[in-house]
Structure 1
Amino acid sequence: MSQWVNYHHLLYFWMVAKEGSIAAAAKRLSVSQPTISTQLRTLEDNLGVSLFDRSGRRLALTQTGSVALRYAEDIFSLGREMVDVLHERLEGRPLRLVVGVTYVVPKLVAYRLLQPALNLGDGLHVVCHEDKFDQLLGRLARHELDLVISDAPIGPHVSVKAFNHPLGSCGVTFFGAPPLARKYKRGFPESLDRAPFLLPMQGSMVRRELDRWFDDLDIHPEIVGQFDDSALLKVFGQSGVGVFAAPSAIEAEITSQYGVQVIGRSDSIQERFYAISVERRLKHPGVLAISEAAKTKLFG
């Protein structure tokens, strides 16, 4: 078996798989059908596998062919990305990084995650969109986004072809306006039983973790508000409406920005954050900067 792939042959395979027939691929590539047939067989011989089941004029991918197609998609997608990046730099245009952030990700966490990309100093232009998880995944699938930052990984049953890249995790800190903090700090965490609480919406990963923690400790919070948007939740917390929880990694920023105080902390609740992309291996310089800084600084 050959140790190297002839990428010219691989291009013919990729085009046949996409077009569904040798005739259509030959027309698209402006070459003869015998040329494609010959090079397809050469590729199969070199790899030692059958990539197509040949029945009539149409070709059906074998199971092995489907695996090869996924790799070919990645290879040629990366090639197109390289050309785009080089053209942008040669023409003096800033390299763009289009990021989607789910509502439940705290704005301070999103800023801390994106800051290393902004600090690259290479003319990187960051575009940030905020939306619900499902909506962002749809835009990622349509290649409208380079990256989605979320507190939950993409599940195995989601039809979108994307990959999870864990950024890190941290415990949770409970905050309150000064009067609430004085009242509930003593005797934490049992003191939180019947305390007024501001919580993320049901269904979010952090809400499930909080509910589990409450059940384990037999704590029954009085829910006074539920929020999709983490920043709005903190504004209500700042006003003294209720106790709220946020990642311990941004504890100092929250106390400074919102004028609240720490009631207590728990490492039994873990907030996890993920970068989700269509790339199996991260390549965009901005995304690499985000991933590296998250693992070594923010959650290190």
Structure 2
Amino acid sequence: MADSINYKHLHYFWVVAKEGSIAKAANRLHITPQTISGQLALLEDRLNQPLFDRVGRGLELTETGRLVLRYADDIFALGKELSDVLRGSVVAGGSEFIVSAASTIPKTIVYKMLEPAIRDCPDITLTCKEGPIESILAELAVHEVDMVLSDTPLSAAYSVKAFNHFLGECGVSFFALPPLAQKLGSDFPANLNKAPMLVPTRQYAIRQLFDIWVSEHEIVPEIKGQFDDSALTKAFGHTGLGVFMMPSIVEEEVCETYAVEVIGRTDEIKHRFYAISAERKVTHPAISAVCDTARDEIFN
């Protein structure tokens, strides 16, 4: 019976139809092709009709598939419209403002960027999540969040229809526990050569910039750990496992909280920050508050 369609299954079908293949849909949704195949099979069982025919190595919609796609287009267009309307204005009784932050951004900076949204929009309820950039962009793609805070700009590689709003940038500082700092000395950046280092994973723009910078300075650090999470990086740095880098605007907080000291800083590596949203022109009041304060106060 088709009287109770699972809309997650319908969404998977819709993305496969738009992308033209299960593999491309899996890449866009950041899930495995096997998962999509299984969900499509369940939808076809529910409808008691095939939705695709295999033609060579590709997929072609059946007549039923084309009919379902027309309805799916309308359903998801209306869903986006409803989401935009509800999240584009603060409604009576308060509304939820859902943000996902890339886990490489220090929590202090996340707080500084989000605090204006609570201050300037008292009727909203903030929900803040975090995770790897791929997963939080996937949430934005299906309208589960209003905004993503990232230090890596959205690019065509992510297959997400959204827009970057540049918030600002700063240089980076390098930290070490005092015994390690004393051992490495003060000849920066030469003191990073063969030094134990804790760095972000390669999916993040800041790691890519770091790799270019050390190559240009002919520095070869010893990578002791790679992390998706800035708090985890600092926790391991606090044990003395290695040198780690953070945005220079949080120098004081990092030194006080983790009992480390600065062994060098550079503006040659720019740590950049972005708000990513479905809006090309920001109209959501909370997103507007975040963008304005970041540009005028935090990174000015």
What's the TM-score, normalizing by structure 1?
0.69
2:89–2:285 contact (8 Å) kept in structure 1: no
Deviations 1:29-56 (A, max 9, x none): xxxxxxxxxxxxxxxxxxxxxxxxxxxx
Q: CA offset at residue 293 of structure 1?
A: 1.2
Q: How does 1:162-173 map to 2 (within 5 A)?
A: 162-173=162-173
Residues 100, 214 of structure 1: alpha-carbon distance in 2 compared, 3 angstrom cutoff: same
How far apart, in 2, do the equivalents of 1:79 and 1:222 lie? 47
1:209 deviates by: 0.9
Structure 1 Cα separation of the partners of residues 284 and 121 of structure 2: 15
Secondary structure of the structure 2 residue equivalent to 1:235: helix
Describe how 1:27-66 pairs up with structure 2 within 5 A.
none
In the alignment, structure 1 segments of 5+ residues that lack a partner are 1-71
Equivalent runs, 1:92-131 vs 2, <5 Å: 92=93, 94-120=94-120, 122-131=122-131
1:293 aligns with 2:293: yes
> 1:138 maps to which residue?
138
Residue type matched to 1:129 in 2?
K
Establish whether residue 81 from structure 1 lines up as the match of residue 62 from structure 2. no
Q: CA deviation at 1:164?
A: 0.6
Whether 1:212 aligns to 2:217 is: no
Distance, in Å, in 2 between the alignment partners of 1:157 and 1:190 is 35
Looking at structure 2, the residues matched to 150 and 207 of structure 1 have their Cα atoms a distance apart, in angstroms, of 14
Instruction: Name 2:240's counterpart in structure 1.
Output: 240
What is the DSSP-based 3-state SS (H/G/I as helix, E as strand, rest coil) of the residue aligned with 1:137?
A: helix
2:25 paired residue number: none
Aligned residues: 224
Give secondary structure in 2 for the equivalent of 1:119. helix
Aligned partner of residue 145 in structure 1, secondary structure: coil
Q: Secondary structure at the match of 1:170?
A: strand
Query: Cα deviations across residues 217-245 of structure 1 (Å, max 9, x unaligned)?
Result: 11111111111111001011111111000
- Note the alpha carbon deviations across 1:196-226, whole angstroms, 9 max, x for none: 1111112321111111111011111111111
Q: Which amino acid aligns with 2:143?
A: H
Quote the residue 2:74 is aligned against: none
* Separation in 2, partners of 1:261, 1:103: 23
CA-to-aligned-CA distance 1:76-100 (integer Å, 9 cap, x gap): 6697237x845x32xx2x2321001
The alignment partner of 2:224 has SS state of strand
Q: Distance in 2 between matches of 1:185 and 1:273?
A: 31
Deviation at 1:276, TM superposition (A): 0.5
Instruction: State the distance in 2 between where 1:79 and 1:149 align.
Output: 18
How far 1:195 moved relative to its partner? 0.8
1:190 offset after TM fit, Å?
A: 0.6
The 1:236/1:85 distance shift into structure 2, 3 A limit, reads: same
**SS of residue paired to 1:169:** strand
What is the match of residue 196 of structure 1? Answer: 196
Q: Which amino acid aligns with 1:205?
A: A
Show structure 1 runs of 4+ deviating over 3 A. Answer: 75-79
Q: Paired residue for 2:250?
A: 250
The alignment partner of 1:240 has SS state of coil
1:148-188 deviation line (CA, Å, top 9, x unaligned): 11111111354321011001111000011111222334211
Please say which structure displays the higher CA radius of gyration. 1
Residues 100 and 145 of structure 1 are in contact (CA less than 8 Å); yes or no, is this contact kept in structure 2? yes
Structure 2, unmatched stretches of 5+, are 1-76
Q: Aligned partners of 2:104, 2:219: CA distance in 1, in Å?
A: 23
The residue matched to 2:127 in structure 1 has which SS?
strand
Structural RMSD (CA): 2.3
Q: Is the 8 A contact 1:185 1:264 kept in 2?
A: no
Between the aligned partners of 2:213 and 2:288, the Cα distance in structure 1 is: 34
Between the two proteins, what is the percent identity of the paired residues? 42
